[in-house]
Amino acid sequence: MRAMTQDDVDAVLAIEQAVQRFPWTRGNFADALNSGYLCCVDETEEGGIRGYAILMPVVDEAELLTIGVAQAEQRKGLGRAILAEMLSMARAKNMQRVFLEVRSSNVAAIALYRSAGFSQVGLRRGYYQNADGSEDALVMACVGARRAVPVPEQKFLVPPYGIAR
């Protein structure tokens, strides 16, 4: 993993548009970079981007705003590795909790987050757009952003905000 740059946005946006039903825009990624969030990409040996994640630190907590893996690289453990790296970065910055939101229908992502030590701490009704109008978001948290995957089960608190998928 390495820090994302403005030069990476086209490749990241292409992955985002391919894997998300309602993707972030170029402006969302540019804003995250300009705001100093922890924006990272994972590359192939040839230098092609195959995954990314953005973590927004706020005082002693952080929010995983987005994470994505190229379709051809899914189901190979890359999402788990990227998540572990982001939790490691949060730990290195002394973040006490990491929060995220995930579509209630995204069973694979929910399982990944639970295996990494996240637990549901809330529900945002009608938070995400979908073909039928909207769907709920599960609010999940991991206390201490402790170790790389697998992370032992932790205790959790409700976050005040968030927009991760």
Is 113 noted as a catalytic residue in this protein?
Answer: yes
Which of the residues 113, 128, 153, 161 is marked catalytic?
113
Which of the residues 16, 61, 101, 135 is marked catalytic?
101
Can you give the chain as a three-state secondary structure string?
A: CEECCHHHHHHHHHHHHHHCCCCCCHHHHHHHHHCCCEEEEEECCCCCEEEEEEEEEECCEEEEEEEEECHHHCCCCHHHHHHHHHHHHHHHCCCCEEEEEEECCCHHHHHHHHHCCCEEEEEEEEEEEECCEEEEEEEEEEECCCCCCCCCCCCCCCCCCCCCC
- Reference 70, options 4, 18, 108; nearest CA is 18
Is 52 noted as a catalytic residue in this protein?
Answer: no
Give the catalytic positions in this structure: 101, 113
